Amino acid sequence: MFIIQFAVNVAVTDYPTDAFQGVPIPQAELSQVDRWIRTVFGGLTRWDAVHFLHIAQYGYTYENNLAFFPLFPTLIYSLTLIWSWAVPLIHFSTALILTAVTINFIAFVLCGQLLYALLLMLTKSTKLALLACVVFTLNPASVFFSAVYSESVYMLLTFCGMLALYADLSLSFIRYIIAALFFSFAFATRSNGVFNFGYIIFHLMVETLYSTTLHKFIGERDCGTVLLKV
C-alpha cells in the first residue's frame, strides 16, 4: 500500500479541487528531510486527512472541521509532542504526519489480531477467523486504514469493546463498563461510534431474556418436583 501510494503520488499530478487544503506552510520553513517525508507519505494525507492534521496542529479553527471528532487528532498531537522536540530538522507539521501514519499502522495490525481473537472466540474456527482477517486486511476499503483517517483507531477501539463483552461472561457488570469505555472512546473518534452501544443493549436484552427463561424453567421444574412428591 505504501509503495503504491508513493508511486502514484510521484507520478500523478494532483487535480485542483475546492477541497479544504489547510493552512499553507511556507516552503522556506521546510527542510529537505521534510520534503522527502512529504513525498513518501503525501498520498496518505489527502482529503479528510487534511482536516485531521489541521485540527491536530491548529485546533478547530474552521466550521467544516467540526465534522471530525477530536480523539484521533488529539492523539496525533499528544504523541508528536513527546518525540518531535528531539528531531529539530523536521517541521512540526511533518512530525504530525509521521505520528499519524505510525498510529494507523500499529492500530491496523492490532485490529487484525483482535478480529482474529474475537472470531476465534465466537466461531471456534481457526479457518473462519483467519479468512475474516485476510478479507479485512486485503479488501479495497483497507486503504482508509493506512491513510491519515480515523478508521484504524475507531476499529481498534470497537474491537476492544466487542472483545470485552465476550471475554469473560462471569464478569457481567465489569465487562459492560469496560466495553462502554471503549465504545465511548470510539464515539469520540467517529460519530457513528454511537451505534456501538447497540452491542451492549443487545447483550443486555439477550441476557435478560435468557435469565427469565432459565428462571421460568427452574420454577416449572421445582413445581413439577413438588407435585411428584405430593
Instruction: Give the pLDDT confidence of 128-170 residue by residue, as tens digits.
Output: 999 999 999 888 888 889 899 999 999 999 999 999 988 776 6
pTM of the model: 0.85
Please check the confidence at residue 219 and state whether its pLDDT lies above 60.
no
Whole-angstrom Cα distance, residue 230 to residue 213? 26
Cβ 37 vs Cβ 84: under 8 Å: no
Write the DSSP symbol of residue 170. T
Give the relative orientation of helices 32-41 and 92-123 as an angle to the nearest 10 degrees. 30
Average of pLDDT values for 49-58?
94
Whole-angstrom Cα distance, residue 145 to residue 195? 20
Q: Is 97 helix (H, G, I), strand (E, B) or coil?
A: helix
Whole-angstrom Cα distance, residue 57 to residue 84? 13
Please check the confidence at residue 213 and state whether its pLDDT lies above 90.
no
